[in-house]
Amino acid sequence: MNTLLTVEALVNAIQPRQGWKEEMTRTQRLLGLMQILRRHRYPVTGQSLAQELGISMRTLYRDIATLQQQGADITGEAGVGYILRPGFMLPPLMFSQHEIEALVLGMRWVEQRGDSQLASAATDALAKIASVLPVELREELNANTLLIGPVSITHVDDELLMSVRKAIHQECKIAVAYCDSNGNSSERTIWPFAIGYFEQVRILMAWCELRGSLRHFRFDRISRIALSSQRYPQGRRALMKLWRERECNEHTAGKN
């Protein structure tokens, strides 16, 4: 059996019936299934796989069959469990020593300072990279000597960060209860478009309807948040462009 599965082959095997979004969704799901199987040394039940992926058992069986047809050595059956046999891999990725150090340093930083979703994603990303590296480079990754210092950030509620990131991706308005540096409280409707991860604080960049302009909000001063189903009129890319232009103008003015 051919044990080499390329991303191109995977995408070609699942041409969408309804459109590009369906293709990408299933591609990501199949790669996610491979990642889960790669983590387990012993058979994992179909029910467990389906639950982690958020799909039906019927869809799981179809996805496993697709991967097997493309060369994945997945053995098992319904009611017993599934396991990915050793020897199956994606084409090796090649990184220099400096590139590996940069990847590990960045991922470790996110593991310690991101919300739980980002931290988990960073861990999975490192495992995914390690699984397709040649042996000598994998050893270099595991022996990395660049360390991340202790976290000194002011505590920010995990659910708050994840909710704001969700609103940014969906380009939806949010209502917040905010207390400024002078202790003044206010209720505002804002259009969130970016998050700044500084060493000691997290800053939310947003358009504020109350002030009619771009504003920065410290996460540790937000006491309440409510996501709206209403999308804001400008896309986050347009707001980001506007913010960059403002920052550039203020920086230039400060030099004069």
pLDDT 10s digits, 144-199: 788 888 777 667 888 999 999 999 999 999 999 999 989 999 999 999 999 998 88
Task: Give 82-98 pLDDT, tens digit per residue.
Answer: 998 865 555 555 677 78
Identify the CA nearest to 202 among candidates 239, 151, 154.
154
Check: CB of residue 218 under 8 Å from CB of residue 175: no
- What is the mean pLDDT of the segment spanning 190-218? 93
pLDDT at 10 over 70: no
| pLDDT classification of 134: cutoffs 50, 70, 90 | confident
Highest mean pLDDT among 5-14, 143-152, 230-239: 230-239
How far is Cα 21 from Cα 94, in angstroms, rounded to an integer?
30
Q: Pick the residue with more confidence: 232 or 134?
A: 232
How far is Cα 35 from Cα 201, in angstroms, rounded to an integer?
33
Q: Is 183 left (phi over 0), alpha (psi -120 to 50) or beta?
A: left
- pLDDT of amino acid 93: 57
Long-range contacts of 67-75 (CB under 8 A, 24+ apart): 67/5, 67/30, 67/33, 67/34, 69/13, 70/5, 70/9, 70/10, 70/13, 71/1, 71/2, 71/3, 71/4, 71/5, 71/9, 72/3, 72/5, 72/34, 73/1, 73/3, 74/37
Q: Which domains does the chain carry?
A: 7-84 (1.10.10.10), 97-142 (no CATH), 158-255 (2.30.30.520)
Q: What is the CB-side half-sphere exposure of residue 244 using CA atoms within 13 A?
A: 8
Check: CB of residue 100 under 8 Å from CB of residue 144: yes
Mean pLDDT score across all residues of the chain: 82
- pLDDT of amino acid 88: 54
Highest mean pLDDT among 4-18, 26-40, 211-225: 211-225
- pLDDT of amino acid 98: 81
pLDDT at 61 over 50: yes
